[in-house]
Structure 1
Amino acid sequence: MERISFKEIPNNVLEKLIGLENYINNSNLEITLLELMRLRVAQINGCAYCVDMHYKELKNLGETDLRLSTLVVWEETNFFTDKERAVLRFTEVLTTLNGKPISNAQYDDLRSFFINDEIITLTLAIAQINTWTRLMKTFQIEAGKYKVNR
């Protein structure tokens, strides 16, 4: 049962979160790459609502069942490109900081595929989905009802 509904979140808060979401979605980063990252964060943080949402978004974008079902063990497969692997690695590091530094090797891995502006946007995108997962888990927004609007 929901503790707090979307309707109860102050409008100015949602507007700012959605504004940042729109900025990220309209950036040069590929939407499929962003959605893979979002689904991985949702898995790490155990957010059922966000897992449901980003799974459905990826299916709508034409993502395969094989890649979706193995995203949780992406390092053990060869189903993801080097670019996706760099993003997933950075996603996991940034999501599970635990006081650990982000190594130069991890950062340099990103620089192989992205320019500074894209790394900034990717970092914001990872922080943003971590914010969403924490909100959804706290408010206990019910999973399973999300509908893709594209």
Structure 2
Amino acid sequence: MKLRINHRQAEPKAYQAMLKLESYVHDSGLEPKLVEYIKIRASQLNGCAFCLDMHTTDLRKMGESEQKMHLIAAWRETPWFTPEERAALALTEAVTRIGEAGVPDALYEEVRQHFDEQQYAALIMAIITINGWNRIAISTGMFPGCFEA
């Protein structure tokens, strides 16, 4: 595999802008493991190996079990995700696949049962940010380990 371009070097201002979005998500008050579930689920849907590798590694460092981590793709089929996590994962899928059905009112209402207005906005930004990273990684040919010397 070969990296097409190093976007960090090719357009450092754009890279810094993405890092600012990432910093916002980090400081948004969302539970860190929940943010990683969002990143992993969107990356699964988008087929981003680079981001999947990064965020499963991060989640593992947070102490998440391998078993639960492997079931993120099938979260509806296991009782191990809380109602809040389920709502966030459903929203992740809807926003990532926004062109298919938008974000239905019923899903919005479900998410708002667990998250206030500020948290809802933070969830949307977390989902948008990882989708942006996925699109950068895939279109530039990033793969796990591509930046290692």
User: Are 2:87 and 1:53 aligned?
Assistant: no
Query: TM-score when scaled to structure 2?
Result: 0.93
What's the offset of the Cα at 1:113? 1.2
What's the offset of the Cα at 1:142? 2.1
- Which residue does 2:141 correspond to in 1? 140
Gaps of 5+ in 1: none
What's the offset of the Cα at 1:52? 0.1
Contact 2:30 2:119 in 1 (8 A): yes
Number of aligned residue pairs: give it. 147
- Which residue does 2:94 correspond to in 1? 93
Contact 1:52 1:144 in 2 (8 A): no
What's the offset of the Cα at 1:144? 3.9
- Which residue does 1:109 correspond to in 2? 110
Query: TM-score when scaled to structure 1?
Result: 0.92
Cα distance in 2, alignment partners of residues 7 and 101 from structure 1: 32
Q: 1:87 to 1:22 in 2, by over 3 A?
A: same
For residues 1-150 of structure 1, the aligned pairs below 5 Å read 1-144=2-145
Contact 1:86 1:110 in 2 (8 A): yes
Q: Is the partner of 2:144 in helix, strand or coil?
A: coil
Partner amino acid, structure 2, of 1:51:
L
What's the offset of the Cα at 1:12? 1.1
Contact 1:52 1:146 in 2 (8 A): no
Contact 2:8 2:15 in 1 (8 A): no
Say which is worse superposed, 111-120 or 43-52, in terms of deviation: 111-120
Gaps of 5+ in 2: none
Q: Is the partner of 1:98 in helix, strand or coil?
A: helix
What's the offset of the Cα at 1:146? 7.7
What's the offset of the Cα at 1:98? 2.1
Cα distance in 2, alignment partners of residues 76 and 68 from structure 1: 13
Cα distance in 2, alignment partners of residues 9 and 20 from structure 1: 19
Q: Is the partner of 1:125 in helix, strand or coil?
A: helix
RMSD of aligned alpha carbons? 1.5
